[in-house]
Amino acid sequence: MARIESLELRDIRKEFDGAAANDGISLTVRSGEVLALLGENGAGKTTLMNILYGLYAPDAGEILVNGARVRIAGPADAIRMGIGMVHQHFMLVGRHTVAENAALGLRGVPFLRPGAWVAGRIREFSKRYGMAVRPEAPVWQLSAGERQKVEILKALLKGAELLILDEPTSVLTDSEASELFAAVRRMTAEGKSVVFISHKLTEVLAVSTRIAVLRKGRLAGTVPAAGAGRAELARLMTGGDVISAAARGPRIAEDAGAPALAVEGLTVLGDLGPAAVSGLSFTLARGEILGVAGVSGNGQRELGEALAGLRPAEAGSLVVAGVDASGRSPRALRDLGMRHIPEERLRLGVVGSMSVADNAVLSCHRDPRFAKGPFLDRAAIRAHAQGIVDAYGIMTPSADARAGALSGGNIQKLILGRETEGTPAVIVASHPTCGLDIGAAEFVRSRLCAKAAQGSAVLLISEDLDEVLRLSDRVAVMFEGRFAAVLPNSGLDRGRVMLLMAGGGEAGRD
């Protein structure tokens, strides 16, 4: 495979539904360099690289390899030219082994003992790049970090000279990330080039040689990594705009009574053992929206789950509307007025095999409204569910349809309808608009604001900084299990929030 000395994107444009995801982007990647593609969620990073990998055809613009114009009609063309890509969401076949997965789409596999040959090549490449994997392991047994190694090895075995890694560290532990960076350095030492997509300033500064910053589909700037300052990068990412809290309607008056939620010294372990939430303390007033901003993986999920009683707390106390709720079950917390819109909607939010109606009363079916003694009142449940379906415009053939058959947006509306019924004391909303189209997302936001206006306290956990800044009264920035800062949301500087999200500390060290 010929070396890719330079790869140039010229004036790339790509629209989705009339909106430009990429708008006149020009970039060059050279042999031996790590080009970081930095930008907030939705900036257009994945789209641009999907174009380079042949998954999308650009609406305008051209691609040049070593100075010659090329046409990349699909991933097969890209691979032939030496371009490899590891997606944010892996595409391995779970029941196959590492070697079998790597063999898929690989050329030059000998007819005799192909398995042994592929396994041998994997061992050779594993060693060369310092990425240990066992060729004979079935993929379903592997951790996310190991799967990623397999994806990278697969691309290298296919002859990738330019490797695109789309937010590779989002699934990695810190030590796995260091291992990945070491592998990336070995690749570039051989003259390969790497495009490293990320929205995390710290790792971008650690691994790349040049940084291209995308903002709202456009190239905001390209800077050498050496000497680049965090503040400058944050400004390029955000345009330096100062966002003030959008008027979200009247706030209820400052409440002198007990806070809706008081959390003291909360420590929660993550799936991997170490504390994901470390000694966190905060209070939430009635009618207040506290936004939790942060890069995912800094304890937000564990915080939400612990507040909902779905994950045990190692230490600390929880007081809901003046009542000690520490160590209570999800049901007991619910009875105290705690509601939860989970991040993993399909796994934790609904029971897919049950009907829309049954899901609408999930964990409150013993409510006297829906049960007479030991007997469920089917008609009352159905009527209640139909009320939610109508009020939220849920698209379903009927309240008896299987909840699992609904689209993501409609499942979210169903959960929202159930969890915001009445005026709960606290609503913990984890990434409530993630994956929704604009209309559904706006609807969800307006419901949360309406509940706050009625007196519910809302903890809004979101990776969407615009959403946090638009809805919240105060913004807590979560970093490594703690709130790096809790700031009143008026005239808040976006760049400052982003610095805190990246672990920049209050002083915004450079």
Query: Interface with ligand ADP by CB under 6 A: which residues?
Result: 16, 21, 39, 41-47
Q: How far apart are CA 173 and CA 194, in angstroms?
A: 21
Nearer to ligand ADP, 84 or 424 (CB): 84
Nearer to ligand ADP, 116 or 438 (CB): 438
State the nearest-atom distance from the C-beta of 418 to Mg ion, in Å: 31
Interface contacts to Mg ion, rule CB under 5 A? 46
Q: How far apart are CA 48 and CA 54, in angstroms?
A: 10
Q: How far apart are CA 187 and CA 194, in angstroms?
A: 8
- Partner interacting with residue 41 (select from ligand ADP, Mg ion, none; CB below 5-8 Å by kind): ligand ADP
Say which amino acid occupies 215: R
Sheet containing 60-65: give its strands across.
Answer: 19-30, 6-16, 60-65, 68-70
Nearer to Mg ion, 302 or 467 (CB): 467
Q: How far apart are CA 46 and CA 438, in angstroms?
A: 19
State the nearest-atom distance from the C-beta of 437 to ligand ADP, in Å: 9
State the nearest-atom distance from the C-beta of 36 to ligand ADP, in Å: 13
- Partner interacting with residue 54 (select from Mg ion, ligand ADP, none; CB below 5-8 Å by kind): none
Nearer to ligand ADP, 161 or 463 (CB): 463
Angle in degrees, CA 361, 460, 43, rounded to 5: 120
Nearer to ligand ADP, 39 or 145 (CB): 39
Which of 476, 425, 436, 262 is closest to 415 using CA atoms?
436
Q: How far apart are CA 55 and CA 77, in angstroms?
A: 10
- Partner interacting with residue 140 (select from Mg ion, ligand ADP, none; CB below 5-8 Å by kind): none
Per-residue DSSP letter, 504: -
**What tokens does 377 get?**
């009142």
Angle in degrees, CA 46, 48, 49, rounded to 5: 65
Nearer to ligand ADP, 264 or 466 (CB): 466
Nearer to ligand ADP, 46 or 148 (CB): 46
- Partner interacting with residue 481 (select from Mg ion, ligand ADP, none; CB below 5-8 Å by kind): none
- Partner interacting with residue 44 (select from Mg ion, ligand ADP, none; CB below 5-8 Å by kind): ligand ADP
Say which amino acid occupies 9: L
Beta carbons of 479 and 297 less than 8 angstroms apart: no
- Partner interacting with residue 193 (select from Mg ion, ligand ADP, none; CB below 5-8 Å by kind): none
State the nearest-atom distance from the C-beta of 53 to Mg ion, in Å: 13
- Partner interacting with residue 221 (select from Mg ion, ligand ADP, none; CB below 5-8 Å by kind): none
State the nearest-atom distance from the C-beta of 89 to ligand ADP, in Å: 12
State the nearest-atom distance from the C-beta of 73 to ligand ADP, in Å: 18
| Beta-carbon contacts of residue 83 (< 8 Å; ≥ 6 apart) | 4, 7, 52, 53, 72, 160, 161, 162, 164
State the nearest-atom distance from the C-beta of 424 to ligand ADP, in Å: 31
